[in-house]
Amino acid sequence: MPAVQRIGDADSGGGIITSGVNSVRVNGIVVSVNGSSVSAHAKHRPVTSGGVNSVRAGGIPINVAGNADTCGHVRTGGSPNVSAG
């Protein structure tokens, strides 16, 4: 299963998650959901997408490693011990 993504985790283009659902944390870090902001990179201002529909935070699918952001870059890294999917 792929690692759950959190604020501070990067995509393959270097974009870092900057927002999420504040009431849900993984390893003490706010969890990322579809539509979470990602730092601008390579002329993009993407958001996260492609989340796991069966696992939600605030009613929105969470993101995991392997999901592609709206810029097309794939989520990498993530929680070292929490996975979903």
Evaluate whether residue 68 is within a structural domain.
yes
Residues 6+ apart with CB under 8 A from 73: 11, 12, 13, 15, 41, 46
Question: Would the pTM count as exceeding 0.85?
Answer: yes
Contact (CB, 8 A) for 33 and 57:
yes
pLDDT tens figures, 65-81? 999 999 999 999 999 99
Length of the chain: 85
pLDDT tens figures, 41-67? 878 889 999 999 999 999 999 999 999
Residue 37's identity, in one-letter code, is S
Evaluate whether residue 84 is within a structural domain.
no
Report how many domains make up the chain.
1
Evaluate whether residue 73 is within a structural domain.
yes
Structural domain of residue 30, as residue ranges? 1-78
Where is 60: in which H helix or E strand? strand 60-62
